[in-house]
Amino acid sequence: MSVMQISVFLENKPGTLKKMTSVLAANKIDMRATSLAETKDFGIARLVVDDALSAVNTLKENNFVASLTPVLAIEIPDEMGGLDKLLTVFDEAKVNIEYMYAFSGGSSKDHAYMIFRVSDTKGAEAKLAGKSLKMLTQEDLAQI
């Protein structure tokens, strides 16, 4: 039950991120979640969108270097200690987290959503199955 994340490599100079968001906006691609990491020469924008395949193709057609990566998207209660409780489940299941970021959305003010890149997505899904977690699918993203 993973979702696809788009990683976009961006030159680290003014206006590059704006060019990417303009392409997405012009093609009516709605970002559900985003994270931006940088180094001296380039940045990596990580995006979760409704239709990842269409979005990555659109970005490539517009001369962006972009790739797809499976990630876990998990709903958590938006309450004190909500993330800590979720990380306890990951820890007990011995799931290694490479990076994570959060987003909110939808009409529910009671939930937040976490995106996790783990070292073994399929293995993590198996280890986390039956742990009373609400893992989102690509289709769920369209409903948020």
Q: Structural domain boundaries of the chain?
A: 3-70, 71-141
Q: Which fold has domain 71-141?
A: Alpha-Beta Plaits (3.30.70)
pLDDT at position 110, please?
A: 83
Determine the distance from the C-alpha atom of residue 50 to the mean position of all C-alpha atoms in its chain, rounded to a whole number.
11
Q: Is the pLDDT of residue 40 over 80?
A: no
List beta partners, residue 123: none
Mean pLDDT, the chain, integer: 92
Helix (H) or strand (E) holding 53: helix 52-61
What does the pLDDT look like over 66-99, one tens digit per residue? 999 999 999 998 889 999 999 999 999 999 999 9
Distance CA 144, CA 128 (A): 22
Dig out the tokens for 41 from the structure: 């020469």
- Could you check whether 3-70 and 71-141 share the same CATH topology? no
Q: Which fold has domain 3-70?
A: VC0802-like (3.30.2130)
Q: Is the pLDDT of residue 105 over 90?
A: no
Which value, to the nearest 10 degrees, does the dihedral of the CA atoms of residues 115, 4, 63, 32 take?
Answer: -50
Please state, as a whole number, how many other Cβ atoms lie within 10 Å of the Cβ of residue 109. 8
What does the pLDDT look like over 127-141, one tens digit per residue? 999 998 999 998 888
Closest CA to 33 of 50, 47, 52: 47
